[in-house]
């Protein structure tokens, strides 16, 4: 996702047109978010219509927004911090940004492995990261697991996104949890050995490389594939659900938590509960072609055809806990 400098951050009033220097009212919330505003505005407008609670968005880079909240301390306008990847949410919790939220609604709607064990943050949509290949070169029967892509038979056929992005760090962290540090390192070293070209800056470019025949297989978040498949020229790209015979597909989240210094925690909790509800989940996840965290919510038509899949049940907070080890593995193996 495109990063927006805080110096140019857009303060978007979802359901009102108050100026930045005007004091917020008790029935008004401010979300600091690294998510694209257009993904959030429609559902927040609906929330405001139903509850009378107005919502403001301050958009920017996740790390810069966290730093801003820390610097602002108890003077911060932030009621909710919303971002992508459990590793980033874990970092925010480690920086003491979140308060603990006790909510029977959130606990009922969001599976335990998709939220912080202490109630500091909650997953609001799931992001599956799995194998995509070109059917010009391979068939479904050629694939099995993430780990198998380290096999020498894939030498010169693999493309990957850079390890500097948190998505791949979290994938490596999940392997550390499943297999231990040494085996995870061996797998990543195998990936690096099998690369056909330098790593890509984003998933979209990796997918385009597979489609063009520059490589044959990659690992990406599924919503990037769903977007590309709107164009028929990428019809040769096919999805494969990894690790279905063992731990399941790696799943990450977008999510949010209530900021510790919030003056309006009650309404902030109401908003988080709303976003976890079926009426909101149907839209919230589908807006970015992600998967809902609520089991009874609908899956977007554009991804429904991929079918059901077994997902890794690791508590996503571990993706943050093991992030440093994942970075070390990437450095040690030359995974740039």
Domains by residue range for the chain, with CATH = 6-126+253-299 (3.40.190.10), 127-250+317-333 (3.40.190.10)
Q: Is the pLDDT of residue 48 over 70?
A: yes
Sequence-ordered list of residues with C-beta below 8 angstroms from that of 264, at least 6 positions apart, any chain: 24, 26, 28, 29, 79
Query: How high is the pLDDT of residue 305?
Result: 95
Pairing label, strands 80-84, 122-134: unpaired
Residue appearing with tokens 């029967």: 141
Give the helix, strand, coil percentages of the chain, each rounded to 5.
45, 20, 40
Q: Which residue has the higher pLDDT, 5 or 324?
A: 324
Least reliable range by pLDDT among 26-30, 115-119, 212-216, 308-312:
26-30
Average pLDDT over residues 10-30: 50
How far are the Cα atoms of 182, 184, 326 from residue 332, in angstroms, in the given order?
11, 12, 10
Please report the pLDDT score of residue 25 as a whole number.
53
Whole-number pLDDT of residue 286: 86
Q: How far apart are CA 88 and CA 82, in angstroms?
A: 10
Name residue 219's beta-bridge partners.
131
Rounded CA separation 17/9 (Å): 16
Please report which confidence band the pLDDT of residue 172 belongs to, taking 50, 70 and 90 as the band edges.
very high
26 or 307: which carries more pLDDT confidence?
307
What pLDDT, on a 0 to 100 scale, did the predictor assign at position 10? Answer: 37
User: What is the residue-wise DSSP string for 153-210?
Assistant: GGTTTB--B-TTSHHHHHHHHHHHHHH-HHHHHHHHHHHHHHBSSPPBSSHHHHHHHH
The two tokens of residue 240 are 């494969």
Instruction: Report pLDDT for 185.
Output: 98
Residue with tokens 């006790």: 102
- The yes-or-no verdict on residue 5 having pLDDT over 50 is no
3-state secondary structure of 214: coil
Q: What residues contact residue 305 under an 8 Å CB cut-off, 6+ apart?
A: none
Q: No. of H helices and E strands in the chain?
A: 13, 9
Helix, strand or coil for residue 111?
Answer: coil
The CA distance from 136 to 32, in Å, is: 44
Nearest CA to 207 out of 188, 180, 235 is that of 235
What CA–CA distance (Å, rounded) separates 256 from 98? 9
Residues in contact with 295: Cβ distance below 8 Å, sequence separation at least 6, in sequence order: 111
What per-residue confidence (pLDDT) applies to 70?
97
Rounded percentage of the chain residues whose pLDDT exceeds 70: 92
pLDDT higher than threshold 90 for residue 320: yes
pLDDT of residue 307: 96
Q: How far apart are CA 71 and CA 101, in angstroms?
A: 23
**Residue 205 banded pLDDT, cuts 50, 70, 90:** very high
Residue 2 has a pLDDT of 38
User: Among candidates 316, 329, 260, 327, which has minimal Cα distance to 111?
Assistant: 316
Write the pLDDT tens digit of every residue in 222-253.
Answer: 999 999 999 999 999 999 999 999 999 999 99
Query: Tokens 């857009």 correspond to what residue?
Result: 10
DSSP state of 238: E
pLDDT at 13 over 80: no
| Residue 218 phi, psi (nearest 5) | -150, 180
pLDDT per residue as tens digits for the range 100-142: 999 999 999 999 999 999 999 999 999 999 999 999 999 999 9
Q: What mean pLDDT is predicted for residues 212-226?
A: 98
- Mean of pLDDT values over 35-54: 95
How high is the pLDDT of residue 173?
A: 98
| Average pLDDT of every residue of the chain | 92
Specify the length of the chain in residues: 336
Note the pLDDT of residue 27.
78
pLDDT digits (tens, 9 = 90+) for 63-102: 999 999 999 999 999 999 999 999 999 999 999 999 999 9
Report the alpha-carbon distance of residue 249 to residue 206 in Å, rounded: 19
Rounded distance between C-alpha atoms, residue 219 and residue 155, angstroms: 15
Measured over the CA atoms of residue 149, residue 151, residue 154 and residue 155, the dihedral's sign is positive
């Amino acid at each position: 996702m495109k990063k927006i400098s805080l110096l140019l951050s857009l303060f978007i009033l979802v359901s009102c047109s108050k100026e930045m220097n005007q004091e917020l009212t008790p029935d008004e919330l401010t979300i600091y978010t690294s998510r694209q505003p257009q993904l959030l505005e429609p559902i927040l407008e609906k929330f405001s219509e139903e509850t009378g609670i107005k919502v403001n968005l301050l958009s920017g880079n996740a790390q810069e927004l966290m730093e801003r909240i820390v610097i602002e301390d108890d003077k911060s306008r932030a009621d909710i911090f919303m971002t992508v990847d459990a590793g980033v949410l874990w970092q925010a919790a480690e920086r003491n940004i979140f308060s603990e939220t006790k909510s029977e609604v959130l606990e009922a709607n969001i599976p335990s492995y998709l939220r912080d064990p202490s109630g500091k943050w909650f997953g609001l949509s799931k992001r599956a990261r799995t194998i995509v290949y070109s059917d010009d070169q391979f068939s479904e029967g050629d694939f099995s697991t993430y780990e198998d892509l380290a096999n020498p038979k894939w030498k010169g056929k693999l493309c990957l996104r850079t390890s500097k992005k948190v998505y791949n760090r979290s994938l490596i962290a999940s392997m550390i949890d499943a297999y231990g540090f040494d085996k995870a390192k061996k797998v990543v070293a195998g990936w690096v050995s099998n690369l056909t070209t330098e790593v890509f800056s984003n998933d979209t470019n990796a997918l385009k490389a597979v489609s063009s025949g520059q490589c044959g297989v990659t690992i990406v978040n599924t919503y990037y594939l769903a977007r590309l498949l709107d164009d028929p020229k990428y019809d040769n790209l096919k999805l494969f659900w990894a690790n279905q015979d063992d731990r399941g597909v790696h799943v990450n989240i977008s999510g949010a938590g209530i900021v510790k210094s919030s003056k309006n925690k009650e309404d902030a909790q109401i908003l988080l509960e709303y976003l976890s509800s079926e009426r909101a989940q149907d839209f919230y996840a589908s807006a970015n072609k992600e998967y809902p965290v609520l089991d009874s919510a609908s899956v977007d038509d554009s991804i429904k055809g991929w079918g059901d899949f077994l997902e890794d049940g690791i508590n996503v907070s571990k993706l943050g806990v093991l992030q440093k080890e994942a970075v070390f593995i990437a450095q040690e193996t030359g995974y740039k």
